[in-house]
């Protein structure tokens, strides 16, 4: 099968929302959550389209009067997508994301933005949103991927790249070290049947695939992988806080160290291998794309053996075999590509392909994994 390369401009439309109406609507809402007489005003700067493929992220400033003084805050709005814009996930529990960030900020020194206000009803913008403080820093770009070259991370010195890698792994270890995670973050447990948390996470991914099929069609490769995963679930009852989308493209850095850990929409409770595999596998996906385009990429960066060694050193934990988790995450990436592909079709950015697996930019990688495990 011929693999379709990513388009020259990989920016993906996420929303049909009319941004011109947002400042007035958000200003009116802020007046209901701020002290009386605050007279808030909102200035919308932009959306964020360089990273991420799911929720809308809006950059804004807010001003209001409090205790006789005019105050100003630089904010980010995290907005759930509208159902008619073909969102990546079946549902967006923004309250869970808000609470997860709040608790991580209270319980650890992991740098998460301070969350301010939550609008859970969807009555203001059409879907729920929350506001959090804006943080200054650099993010390894997704569009075009950082390993394509000509960007701050790709062009950095090897020792700086390694510092960023190791500090990112330390973030995972700190998150996983939060005690009593199953009780503290119980609201993140998958609402699906299963004897263990891992089985419940897998059941949620199966349901996610079934949701994606409705708009794009079935994938023989994903179904092959799901059948193998369901027949070979590792025996573990471990329950740590898993960030979920644990990749460097969801972190802001300053001097190659994390200053903001972002995007908590995939947060869950489960074994620590879920996160460790994801940070490795996400880089392997981008490396698979550069390989198809005959580009050098960054093969020295985020290598599994280096990530595992550093994680075990800082956490004191011993990781199990990651191959099952790599296949699992390969399925999740495939579903993301199914959903973003369906959305591109919806917005007229691409034609519907004859073979939906041509949307899987990591298809050779997933095929190799399945062959390796004998699926």
Q: How confident is the model at residue 7 (pLDDT cuts 50, 70, 90)?
A: very low
Question: For the chain, how many helices (H) and strands (E)?
Answer: 10, 9
Q: H or E stretch including 254?
A: strand 251-254
- pLDDT for the residue numbered 87: 86
> Above 60 in pLDDT, residue 50?
no
Q: Can you list the pairs that 309-317 forms with residues at least 24 positions away whose Cβ atoms lie under 8 Å?
A: 310/165, 310/166, 310/169, 310/170, 311/169, 311/172, 311/173, 311/276, 314/169, 314/170, 314/173, 315/172, 315/173, 315/176, 315/177, 315/272, 317/173, 317/176, 317/272
- pLDDT for the residue numbered 54: 54
Say whether 245 is catalytic.
yes
pLDDT digits (tens, 9 = 90+) for 124-150: 999 999 999 999 999 999 988 999 999
pLDDT digits (tens, 9 = 90+) for 8-43: 334 444 445 677 888 999 999 999 999 999 999 999
Residue written as token pair 């105050």: 71
Model pTM score:
0.91
Q: H or E stretch including 258?
A: strand 257-261
- Go through the domains of the chain in sequence order and give each one's CATH number: 19-133 (3.30.200.20), 146-373 (3.90.1200.10)
The answer to whether residues 22 and 125 touch, using CB atoms and an 8 Å cutoff, is yes
- pLDDT for the residue numbered 284: 96
Question: Could you give the 3-state DSSP secondary structure of residue 73?
Answer: strand
pLDDT digits (tens, 9 = 90+) for 308-326: 999 999 999 999 999 999 9
Cα 336 to chain centroid distance, Å, stands at 10
Question: Could you give the 3-state DSSP secondary structure of residue 189?
Answer: coil
Q: How confident is the model at residue 49 (pLDDT cuts 50, 70, 90)?
A: very low
- pLDDT for the residue numbered 55: 63
pLDDT digits (tens, 9 = 90+) for 65-97: 998 999 999 999 999 988 888 889 988 889 999
Active-site residue, selected from the candidate residues 96, 160, 215, 245: 245
Spatial separation of the C-alpha atoms in residues 374 and 306, rounded to whole Å: 26
Q: H or E stretch including 57?
A: strand 56-66
pLDDT digits (tens, 9 = 90+) for 168-209: 999 999 999 999 999 999 999 999 999 999 999 999 999 999
Record the tokens describing residue 123, joined without a space.
Answer: 């009555």
The answer to whether residues 264 and 54 touch, using CB atoms and an 8 Å cutoff, is no
């Amino acid at each position: 099968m011929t693999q379709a390369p990513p388009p020259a401009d990989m920016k993906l439309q996420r929303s049909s929302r009319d941004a011109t109406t947002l400042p007035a609507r958000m200003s009116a809402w802020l007046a209901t959550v701020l002290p009386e007489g605050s007279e808030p005003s909102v200035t919308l700067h932009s959306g964020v389209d360089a990273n991420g493929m799911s929720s809308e992220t809006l950059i804004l400033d807010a001003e209001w009067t409090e205790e006789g003084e005019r105050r100003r805050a630089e904010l980010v709005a995290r907005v759930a997508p509208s159902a008619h814009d073909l969102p990546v996930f079946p549902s967006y529990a923004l309250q869970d994301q808000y609470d997860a960030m709040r608790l991580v900020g209270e319980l650890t020194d992991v740098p998460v933005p301070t969350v301010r206000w939550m609008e859970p009803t969807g009555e203001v913008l059409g879907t729920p949103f929350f506001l959090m403080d804006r943080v200054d820093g650099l993010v390894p770009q997704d569009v075009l991927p950082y390993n394509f070259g000509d960007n701050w991370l790709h062009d950095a010195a090897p020792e700086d790249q390694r510092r960023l890698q190791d500090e990112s792994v330390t973030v995972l270890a700190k998150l996983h070290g939060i005690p009593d995670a199953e009780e503290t973050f119980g609201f993140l447990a998958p609402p699906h049947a299963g004897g263990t948390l891992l089985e419940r996470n897998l059941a949620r991914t199966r349901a996610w695939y079934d949701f994606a099929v409705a708009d794009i069609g079935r994938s023989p490769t994903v179904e092959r992988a799901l059948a193998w995963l369901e027949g070979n679930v590792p025996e573990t009852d471990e329950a740590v806080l898993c960030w979920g989308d644990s990749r460097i493209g969801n972190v802001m850095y300053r001097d190659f160290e994390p200053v903001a850990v972002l995007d908590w929409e995939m947060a869950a409770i489960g074994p620590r291998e879920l996160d460790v595999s994801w940070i490795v596998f996400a880089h392997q996906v981008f490396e698979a794309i550069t390989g198809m385009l005959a580009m050098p990429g960054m093969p020295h960066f985020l290598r599994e053996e280096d990530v595992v060694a550093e994680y075990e050193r800082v956490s004191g934990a011993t990781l199990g075999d990651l191959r099952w988790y790599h296949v699992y995450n390969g399925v999740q990436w495939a579903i993301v590509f199914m959903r973003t592909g369906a959305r591109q079709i919806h917005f007229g950015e691409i034609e519907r392909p004859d073979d939906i697996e041509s949307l899987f930019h990591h298809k050779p990688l997933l095929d190799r994994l399945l062959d390796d495990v004998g699926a």
